[in-house]
Amino acid sequence: MDDTLLALLRAVDTPTVCNAIEVAEGKRGFNAFTRGTVLSSVPAGPAIVGYARTAKIAAAAPPAESPAVIRARRMDYYRYMAGGPSPSLAVIEDTDFPHCVGAFWGEINATVHRGFGLSGVLTNGVMRDLGDLPDNFPIIAGSIGPSHAFVHVEAIDVPVTVFGLTVASGDLVHADRHGAVVVPAAMISMLATSIEKLRATEKLILEPARQPGFDLAKFEAAWDLFEAART
């Protein structure tokens, strides 16, 4: 992904990317997106765009494995997060969902991942330390809570499912306060053109609707053009 496309994707919201994928595919029915409501640590911030680095965590109960095994896996996790292609984001499945209790994402862990160069986080788990999280590191999470409980890493570099969306390591993910979407690999090179086509099509209805004197007759004329142009 070149810098121009990256800048464009960071400038648009996730609903726009969902629509642009349909434009690129020439049909409706694309469904690789999250379900349900998410929480954003920076609701007005830019979208998170990057190649997924995946892991699974749990926190409701103490780990059954030895402390040495848990510590070793945690360091393996950080080595994994610090490597790989850029731009990147962490996609973390909390296996306690929908009863997540332990915040893996607070000031320290978010700052460490930001230092590694990751763009942000998508997780169905818990975040905390609101107000102390690093700048330019959005966290899209399932809930907010005060404690880390017994949080520990269970698996690294595996397919994960977050809010109904299955993500594999290396998938291109776009996420913001609306949720997240996995961009099909075959569509990446077409996204810029599709976004511009989408914007042009939306103007057919938005521009007349914003003008004084807009009425049903003008709507019907604009809608005919809009329907003919959109996917």
**Parallel, antiparallel, or unpaired for β 88-94 and 139-141?**
unpaired
pTM over 0.85: yes
Kindly state the tokens that stand for 90.
């962490």
Q: How far is CA 37 from CA 29, 162, 185, in A?
A: 21, 12, 26
Report the pLDDT averaged over residues 110-121.
97
122 pLDDT tier (thresholds 50, 70, 90): very high
Give pLDDT, residue 8: 95
Match 């070793």 to its residue by tokens: 72
pLDDT digits (tens, 9 = 90+) for 143-154: 999 999 999 999
Alpha helical stretches, state H, the chain: 3-11, 14-25, 67-82, 107-116, 191-209, 216-229
Q: Which domains does the chain have, with CATH numbers?
A: 31-183 (3.50.30.40), 193-229 (no CATH)
Checking phi first, is residue 117 left (phi over 0); if not, alpha (psi -120 to 50) or beta?
Answer: left
CA nearest 57: which of 38, 37, 73?
73
pLDDT tens for 146-203 read 999 999 999 999 999 999 999 999 999 999 999 999 999 999 999 999 999 999 999 9
CA distance 122 to 117: 15
Inter-residue contact 96 to 114 (CB < 8 Å) = no
* Residue 231: band (very low, low, confident or very high) from pLDDT cuts 50, 70, 90: low
Q: What's the pLDDT tens digit per position in 36-45? A: 999 999 999 9
Q: How many CB atoms are closer than 10 A to CB 75?
A: 10
Q: Give the C-alpha separation, 3 to 102, whole Å.
A: 36
Q: What average pLDDT does the structure give for the chain?
A: 95
How crowded is residue 18: how many other Cβ atoms within 10 Å of its Cβ?
A: 19
- Over residues 72-87, the pLDDT tens digits come to 999 999 999 999 899 9
Going by pLDDT thresholds of 50, 70 and 90, the confidence category of residue 230 is confident
